[in-house]
Amino acid sequence: MDLGHRLVSEREAKVIICNTCTVKDTTEQKILHKIKEWGLQGREVIVTGCMPQVQLDEILENNPEVHVLGMNSLLKLGVILNRVHERLEGYSLRPMSVFEDSPEGLLNVPRKRFSPNIHICQISQGCNNRCSYCIVTLARGPLYSFDADSIVTDIEQAVYEGCSEVWLTSQDNAQYGMDKEIHLPALLERITAIPGDFRVRVGMMNPASTLGILDELLRAYSSEKVYKVLHLPIQSASDKILEKMRRKHTMEQANFIVEKFRNAFPESTLFTDIIVGFPGEDEEDFELTLDWIRTYHPDKVNISRYTPRPHTEALQFRNIDTRIVVERSGKLHRLCNQIKLGKKEDMVGREVEVFISQKAKVKGLMSRTDSYKPVVIPKAGELCPGQRCRVKIEEATPGYFIGHPV
Ligand code: SF4
């Protein structure tokens, strides 16, 4: 759908499309501030994403002249842009709001890739869980898995267009297909059967939904086209806190998944997410989380300080002192960085096979090991995305490794 519009900088834009996120309070405040500022400047604003689904009143309080494009209404963007156009021509028309019930048909909409070689494919939307702190599930509704045929067509097209890396995303990839007759492992097998040199990165999978498909998932991961990376958000290593979070998994189950994954793929990468300072988290609970990090040495930990979100069950829980939360978050960051650094230094001097996924931001090419570790090749010669080569890791920087072809 080309309506003749151009992407320009925020400063030059006559129309601003603001894609919102409601996960964190700080992000929400920044977005509301921007929406208000654009309103005071008299600019046309279209607000979309999660916030209009659950916080429409706050948005309109800050700027009553915004147009609203609901989460499932992306295909109606053109209709809103027509209204915007008429208003810019001087017609006195009210702003528009469009909300559709289902995300059906959204998978194959044209999109602009942030990297020409990386394709992001959203395999499902929404979530069937009700974690007590989570507002996303309220914004996005229950699980809706996109049809497997449409996903395969979407990825075939991306590979045809030259993408060498495909990222599968959703609120919880392991829930894929639980509302249909297919599950993630079968989808992965269909994706990896697509001809061409490309790799698949499977995004976040919750422990509770991963457990039931684990054996089939490990089989599907054995394809050389799937990066051996497990993103398993544990959120806390205390069963007491997990229960308050209504996370539906225990630490015994999470550890079982990590161990089985590591037995199958010893070099694999582990990512996790942790919420620090959830209501009721005492020193003992926090120590359990630190111990888990010391034991399992995850390669990357996304750490969030707990902040209450509107409309959630945890909003009524008694929060712990902010100073304690800040202190715990600092301690956890320091431990994770120390572990990450140690693991990185162990890689220096090794020779590894890598897959070249895209041009590097600064110079040369960005490649990935089979376990998705980033290796920049500054002197890549004739190499190009989609090829494999062997490199010697010469250096570890905070964000990536530097390697030279051998
Ligand atoms: S698994 Fe929990 S945190 Fe994740 S989207 Fe579902 S309800 Fe929210």
User: Domain boundary at 98, 129, 151, which?
Assistant: 98
**Count of structural domains, the chain:** 3
Ligand 1 center to residue 45 CA distance, Å? Answer: 29
Question: Is 136 close to ligand 1, i.e. is its CB under 6 Å away?
Answer: yes
Query: Any idea which residue has 């530097």 for tokens?
Result: 402
3-class DSSP state for residue 175? Answer: helix
Q: How large is the angle between the packed helices 214-221 and 251-264, nearest 10 degrees?
A: 30
Res 109: pLDDT: 79
For residues 311 and 237, membership in a common domain is answered with yes
The neighbour count for residue 376, using CB atoms within 10 Å, is: 21
For residues 341 and 353, membership in a common domain is answered with no
Res 25: pLDDT: 87
For residues 222 and 132, membership in a common domain is answered with yes
Element of type H or E holding 158 = helix 148-160
- Please spell the DSSP secondary structure of 243-295, one letter per residue: HHHT-S--HHHHHHHHHHHHHH-TT-EEEEEEEES-TT--HHHHHHHHHHHHH
Ligand 1 center to residue 172 CA distance, Å? Answer: 7
For residues 266 and 392, membership in a common domain is answered with no
User: Domain boundary at 31, 65, 98, which?
Assistant: 98
For residues 188 and 299, membership in a common domain is answered with yes
- Would residue 107 count as lying in a domain? no
Mutate to test the pocket of ligand 1, among 22, 130, 132, 134 (most ligand atoms within 8 A of CB): 134
Ligand 1 center to residue 195 CA distance, Å? Answer: 34
CATH number at residue 394: 2.40.50.140
User: pLDDT tens per residue, the chain (406 residues)?
Assistant: 567 888 899 999 999 999 999 888 889 999 999 999 999 999 999 999 999 999 999 999 999 999 999 989 988 999 999 999 999 999 989 999 999 988 888 887 778 888 889 999 999 999 999 999 999 988 999 999 999 999 999 999 999 999 999 999 999 999 999 999 899 999 999 999 999 999 999 999 999 999 999 999 999 999 999 999 999 999 999 999 999 999 999 999 999 999 999 999 999 999 999 999 999 999 999 999 999 999 999 999 999 999 999 999 999 999 999 999 999 999 999 999 999 988 888 899 999 999 998 888 878 999 999 999 999 999 988 899 889 899 999 999 888 999 999 9
- Would residue 10 count as lying in a domain? no
Res 334: pLDDT: 97
- Would residue 398 count as lying in a domain? yes
CA distance 291 to 261: 20
Mutate to test the pocket of ligand 1, among 169, 171, 311 (most ligand atoms within 8 A of CB): 171
CATH number at residue 304: 3.80.30.20
What is the gyration radius of the CA atoms in the chain, in angstroms?
A: 23
- Would residue 111 count as lying in a domain? no
Nearest to 376 by CA among 365, 387, 389, 362: 365
Of ligand 1's atoms, which has the minimum distance to the CA of residue 140? Answer: 5
For residues 326 and 369, membership in a common domain is answered with no
- Would residue 249 count as lying in a domain? yes
Res 1: pLDDT: 54
For residues 245 and 131, membership in a common domain is answered with yes
For residues 70 and 188, membership in a common domain is answered with no
Question: Is 17 close to ligand 1, i.e. is its CB under 6 Å away?
Answer: no
CA dihedral 152, 154, 157, 159 (to 10 degrees): -70
Question: Is 129 close to ligand 1, i.e. is its CB under 6 Å away?
Answer: yes
* Sheet strands side by side (includes 67-69): 15-20, 44-49, 67-69, 97-98
Ligand 1 center to residue 127 CA distance, Å? Answer: 6
For residues 201 and 298, membership in a common domain is answered with yes
Q: Which residues contact 149 (CB under 8 A, 6 or more apart)?
A: none
Q: Are 364 and 376 in contact (CB under 8 A)?
A: yes
- Structural domain for 398, as ranges: 348-405
For residues 264 and 399, membership in a common domain is answered with no
- Would residue 169 count as lying in a domain? yes
Indicate which residue's Cα is closest to atom 4 of ligand 1: 171
* Tokens (6 digits) for 45: 């604003």
Question: Is 131 close to ligand 1, i.e. is its CB under 6 Å away?
Answer: yes
For residues 275 and 180, membership in a common domain is answered with yes
- Would residue 220 count as lying in a domain? yes
- Would residue 2 count as lying in a domain? no
For residues 68 and 134, membership in a common domain is answered with no
Indicate which residue's Cα is closest to atom 8 of ligand 1: 134
Mutate to test the pocket of ligand 1, among 23, 24, 125, 129 (most ligand atoms within 8 A of CB): 129
Res 24: pLDDT: 86
